[in-house]
Amino acid sequence: MKDKFTVGSLYAGVGGICLGFKNAGFALEWANEFDKNACVTYKKNFKHNLIEGDVMQLDVTKLEKVDILTAGFPCQPFSVAGYRKGFEDSRGNHFFKILDFVDEMRPKVIFLENVKNLKGHDKGNTIKVIENEIRKRDYTFDSAVLNTKDFGNIPHNRERIFIVAFDKKYLNNNNFEFHFPEKEDLTKTIKDLVTKEKVDDKFYYHEDKYMYNMLKESIVDKNRIYQFRRQYVRENKSSVCPTLTANMGTGGHNVPLITTDFGFRKLTPRECFRFQGFPDDFKLPEISNSHLYKQAGNSVSMPVIERLASEIFKVIENTEAKKTKKSKEKA
């Protein structure tokens, strides 16, 4: 049986999908990412081949074939923020580029991640196109929307759709059923992820800020996370972090707010990465906080990926064991 199954990662970002698969026992072969600052963070944490640049320019035939092809492909064409253009948006062509990799490499497994809205986009037609294209290549197709707070034991309200497809020829009619992970109890709290000591003064709001009095009056509970919304402060009463977004890196007051023994402040980039399930030994480079906030908001929740990857590993391991048994019986 193969020691480790290999992974190729498209739209790798800072490596949330890669780290989840690595932790589940897979070997990372190569990855591709376009954003140069995300590449800086990625290279600080992984040693394998990172191809920097536009996926559309990649020559699929030159890349090492892999067992698992993963892609957290661009969210914009399938989200409300992306004007719901779907495949009419040029960025929607990224899905068809992924299919080029599938056709050339014939991976055992395709693993895709996207925004929850992909499921209902264009009255469900977009996901139907995706499913049809995958199925007609003789792959299985399973999808589910999972929330980080329910499947990653991280207090972060983040719903994403995950698509898992197995090559039927590889499975060779083995009876199998892919199981998405079960819901689990949320045991971690906001306080578990927030730095206990005083952080850099630049993250705090002081009296020189025009909204100081409003924030001081509203941000009072250490077990809650708040958001500043121009004319008011929104308290997230569910005691979890609201969905972190890439626009945290665009300045203004988009970063969620908390109160501590040292005053009220923004979450730090490190805390945002924690709310995505990254361990503290995941290295953050010395680049601007705006880039780090954007990277955290763009990333996947790593523990959810790890659980999904573990379920995929079970299916592959089971299939390999059956193939080994059959070959021994024939011998």
Q: Could you tell me the CA-to-CA distances from 15 to 199, 273, 294 in Å, in that order? A: 26, 12, 14
219: which DSSP letter?
-
Radius of gyration of the chain (CA): 21
**Helix or strand holding residue 254 (H, E):** none
Catalytic positions: 75
- Within 41-117, strands assigned E span 49-52, 68-71, 109-115
For 253, residues 6+ apart whose C-beta sits below 8 A from its C-beta are 211, 228, 266
Give the residue among 218, 255, 252, 254 at the shortest CA–CA distance from 237.
218
Strand boundaries in 188-290, DSSP class E? 225-229, 232-236, 257-260, 263-266
Residues in the chain: 331
Return per-residue pLDDT of the chain as tens, 331 residues. Answer: 455 899 999 999 999 999 999 999 999 999 999 999 999 999 999 999 999 999 999 999 999 999 999 999 875 454 544 445 556 665 557 888 999 999 999 999 999 999 999 888 877 888 888 999 999 999 999 999 999 999 999 999 999 999 999 999 998 877 778 999 999 999 999 999 999 999 999 999 999 988 899 999 999 999 999 999 878 899 988 899 999 999 997 877 789 999 999 999 999 999 999 999 999 999 999 999 999 999 999 999 999 999 999 999 999 998 888 888 877 777 6
Q: For residues 204 and 148, give the distance between their C-alpha atoms in angstroms, rounded to a whole number.
A: 27
CA 199/CA 313 separation, integer angstroms: 40
Q: Which CATH number fits domain 6-186+300-330: 3.40.50.150, 1.10.10.10, 3.40.1380.10, 3.40.50.360?
A: 3.40.50.150
Q: Is 304 left (phi over 0), alpha (psi -120 to 50) or beta?
A: alpha
Q: Domain-by-domain residue ranges, the chain?
A: 6-186+300-330, 190-297
User: Is 190-297 a CATH 3.40.50 domain?
Assistant: no
HSE toward the beta carbon, residue 47, CA cutoff 13 A? 1
